[in-house]
Amino acid sequence: REGGSDDGRLGECDADVVPETAFTVWDASIVLGKYASRDDVWSRLDARARAGGRASVALELGAGTGLASLMIATSDAVRARGGVFALTDLPDVVEFTKRNARDNKAEHGGHVPRNCALAVTSIRWGRAEDVDGLPEALRWPDVVLGADLMYTSDADVIEALAKTTTMLLKPGCVGVFAACKEHRPEAIETFVKFMEPEFDVRRVPASMAHPEYPCDDDDFEILEFTRRS
């Protein structure tokens, strides 16, 4: 996750923000993982890749442990087709992310199948050089994922998240975000406001995320952003 400075920590002047990041696994990661791993949802999200006869590429922002991506990568929907999952976070977080990704691969005793590639790299939100510096295979993902990324009342951070998402997605591609309404509900609306000029917005009730993981609509929300042509 990002913050107001390069080390990911937010300014002390704002008492209404989460003071530090990369210290826990947020429940929204499970909501996102459960939702996107549904066969009907993933079939829709990777339709462009399948139409082009290639494996889909998904990139998770603020991935931390990469839980959401790992849940999707181990789902039946992805096992049948394979894919590439890029887990991204701040430079001082990604070494942990790399270790977790490695430990979850089948060749190291994990459950991520061999036909799923896991890549880990750093992205600082709002930095065009970080996006443009991605390996070519990851530069234009079919899907961008994010869980509990609207965690701060700092509009500059939320705008940076929106800018990075926009830089990553071509027309027709989708960003899928799960958010906890209890954290910063106003930040969710700020993010939607920044995204609306370039994206069609679909708001999915959390209660529809997955039949095996019931959620309260008052606690969580799923947002899909499809880049317009």
The C-alpha atoms of residue 227 and residue 175 are separated, in whole angstroms, by 8
pLDDT band, very low/low/confident/very high, at 213 (cuts 50, 70, 90)? confident
> What mean pLDDT is predicted for residues 161-187?
96
pLDDT of residue 5: 39
DSSP helix/strand/coil, 11? coil
Share of the chain above pLDDT 90, in %: 83
pLDDT of residue 6: 41
The C-alpha atoms of residue 103 and residue 116 are separated, in whole angstroms, by 14
DSSP helix/strand/coil, 201? strand
What pTM, to 2 d.p., does this model score?
0.90
Share of the chain above pLDDT 70, in %: 89
Q: Which two tokens stand for residue 179?
A: 């958010």
How many Å separate Cα 96 from the centre of its chain? 17
CB 185 within 8 Å of CB 151: no
Average pLDDT of the chain, as a whole number: 90
**DSSP assignment letter at 60:** E
Q: Which two tokens stand for residue 171?
A: 């027309």
> What mean pLDDT is predicted for residues 149-170?
97
For the stretch 31-57, pLDDT in tens is: 999 999 999 999 999 999 999 999 999
At residue 83, what are phi and psi to the nearest 5 degrees?
A: 165, 180
Residue 3 has pLDDT above 50, yes or no: no
- For tokens 């009342």, the residue is 153
The C-alpha atoms of residue 161 and residue 174 are separated, in whole angstroms, by 15
CB 73 within 8 Å of CB 118: yes
Residues in a beta bridge with 221: 179, 205
